[in-house]
Amino acid sequence: MAKFTIFHSLVINFIIFSISTFHANIVNGIFCEEVTDAIAIKREEKTTHLHFYFHDIVGGQKPSVVKIAGPSNSSSAYGFGATMMMDDALTEGPEISSKLVGRAQGIYGIAAQEDVSLLMVMNFAFTEGSYNGSSISILGRNPVFNDVREMPIVGGSGVFRLARGYALAHTIRFDYKTGDATVEYHVYVSHYGAEL
Ligand SMILES: *[C@@H]1O[C@H](CO)[C@@H](O)[C@H](O)[C@H]1NC(C)=O
Ligand SMILES: *[C@@H]1O[C@H](CO)[C@@H](O)[C@H](O)[C@H]1NC(C)=O
C-alpha cells in the first residue's frame, strides 16, 4: 500500500510538473520546440484521386478572371508578362451548371516569350462534403496548348494537410473568340486526412 502511494504521488508530481513546464513554455514564449509524439502527426498517409472541371471565364458579362498586371505593349506576340487573377468554378461535370465542388483561386501569368506557357500559383478551395474548407496549393508550369500539363502540389490545408502530389490538366474546350476555357483536372494527392 505504501509503495503504491509513493508511486501514485510520483505519477501525480510528474503530471503536475509536465503541465507547469508546458504552461511555463507558453507563458515565457518559445520560438521553436520539437513536439512530443503525443501531438505529432501519426496518421497513415493516403492518396486521393480528385476529378473535376475548371472553368476559366475571360469574356462576357461575368468574367471569373481579371488582368491585374502586364506590359501595355508586350515585346512578345504571346503576351509575355500578362498577369491575371482568377476565381474559377470547379465543377463535378464538364458543364459549368453542374455541381460546384470548389473554386480555383490564384494568379496565372504568361511566363514564356516563345510560346504560351503560364506560371500557375493557385489554391483549389473545396466546398464539397468532407473536403469543404480544405485546400490544395499548386505551383507549376502550364504550357496551355499541350494536351496534358502536369503541375506539382506543393501543400494543402485541412484534410490535405502536408499534401504533395500532382495535378494533370487537359483542356476540353477553348473559345478562341472570348478566351474562355474548360479544363479537366485529375489530381493525385498524398495527405494525412488531419481532423480539424
Ligand atoms: C508595340 O510594339 C510593336 C512591336 O514591338 C510596335 O510595332 C508598336 O509600334 C508598339 N505600339 C505602341 C503603342 O507602342
Ligand atoms: C461548407 O462549409 C461552410 C462553412 O462551414 C458552410 O456554410 C457551407 O454550407 C458548407 N458547404 C457545403 C456544401 O457543405
Rounded distance between C-alpha atoms, residue 40 and residue 36, angstroms: 6
If one residue of 92, 132, 157 were mutated to test the ligand 2 pocket, choosing by the most ligand atoms within 8 A of its CB, it would be 132
Taking the CA of residue 129 as reference, the ligand 2 atom at the shortest distance is 14
Q: Please name which of 45, 10, 54, 78 lies closest in space to residue 190, comparing C-alpha atoms.
A: 45
Q: How far is CA 105 from CA 52, 56, 120, 193, in A?
A: 15, 11, 10, 22
Q: Give the three cell numbers for residue 123.
A: 489554391
Longest dimension (CA), the chain: 89
Q: Give the three cell numbers for residue 44.
A: 497513415
Rounded distance between C-alpha atoms, residue 95 and residue 176, angstroms: 18
Residues with CB under 6 A from ligand 2: 127-128, 132-133
Q: How many A from CA of 101 to the centre of ligand 2?
A: 11
Q: How many A from CA of 135 to the centre of ligand 2?
A: 14
- Find where cell 500500500 sits: 1
Rounded distance between C-alpha atoms, residue 48 and residue 68, angstroms: 34
Q: How many A from CA of 155 to the centre of ligand 2?
A: 22
Taking the CA of residue 132 as reference, the ligand 2 atom at the shortest distance is 1
Rounded distance between C-alpha atoms, residue 155 and residue 125, angstroms: 12
Using CB atoms within 10 Å of the CB of residue 109, give its burial: 0 to 12 exposed, 13 to 18 middle, 19+ buried.
Answer: buried
What pLDDT, on the 0 to 100 scale, is given for residue 188? 98
Nearest CA to ligand 2 atom 9: 127
Tens digits of pLDDT across the chain (196 residues): 455 566 566 555 555 555 545 554 555 677 887 777 666 666 788 999 999 999 999 998 999 999 999 998 767 788 999 999 999 999 999 999 999 999 999 999 999 999 999 999 999 999 999 999 999 999 999 999 999 999 999 999 999 999 999 999 999 999 999 999 999 999 999 998 765 4
Q: How many A from CA of 116 to the centre of ligand 1?
A: 20
Rounded distance between C-alpha atoms, residue 92 and residue 52, angstroms: 5
Nearest CA to ligand 2 atom 13: 128
Q: Nearest bound ligand to CA 132?
A: 2
Q: How many A from CA of 119 to the centre of ligand 1?
A: 25
Print burial letters for 164-194: b (CB count within 10 Å at least 16), e (below 16).
Answer: bbebebebeeeeeeeebbbbbbebebbbbbe
Q: How many A from CA of 61 to the centre of ligand 2?
A: 27
What number of other Cβ atoms are within 10 A of residue 82's Cβ?
Answer: 18
